[in-house]
Amino acid sequence: MVEVICDTNFLIHLATRRIKNIDNLDVEIGQITFVVPQVVKNELSKLAKNPEKNQDIQSTLNYIKNFKTIPILGTFADKELLDYALNNKVIVATMDKQLKKQIKNYGSSIMSFSNDKIVLES
């Protein structure tokens, strides 16, 4: 089982959109499990205070309540995910172009969305 570390926007997208291939991921990509860094949970809790985003955030928090939380801490999720990717060979789930580029430079893989499907970028 491969753990995929999710950033905030990826989780919001995962929780609030219909993802076409969500049921076939183990066939298309392999056995994966999404994990949530504590820093991302903290970010989601902060975003929940924004009335415009509250509904999506509540849906996301509900969606991820059974996801494993991993102890990546800090104040800025992107930076913490980068630091983690630098020291560990991981798959990071993100839609952030800048973050994708940096993580690929560190030799880790990216999971993202394309046409409402989850895709693995090498």
Domain positions in the chain are 2-121
Instruction: Over range 71-99, report the average pLDDT.
Output: 92
Instruction: Over range 26-31, report the average pLDDT.
Output: 84
Mean pLDDT in the chain? 93
54 CB-side CA count, 13 A: 4
Q: What is the pLDDT of residue 78?
A: 92
Tell which CATH classification among 3.40.710.10, 3.40.50.1010, 1.25.40.20, 3.30.1550.10 matches the domain 2-121. Answer: 3.40.50.1010
The answer to pTM > 0.85 is yes
Which DSSP letter does residue 106 get? T
The encoded tokens of residue 100 equal 């994708």
Q: Which amino acid is at 102?
A: Q
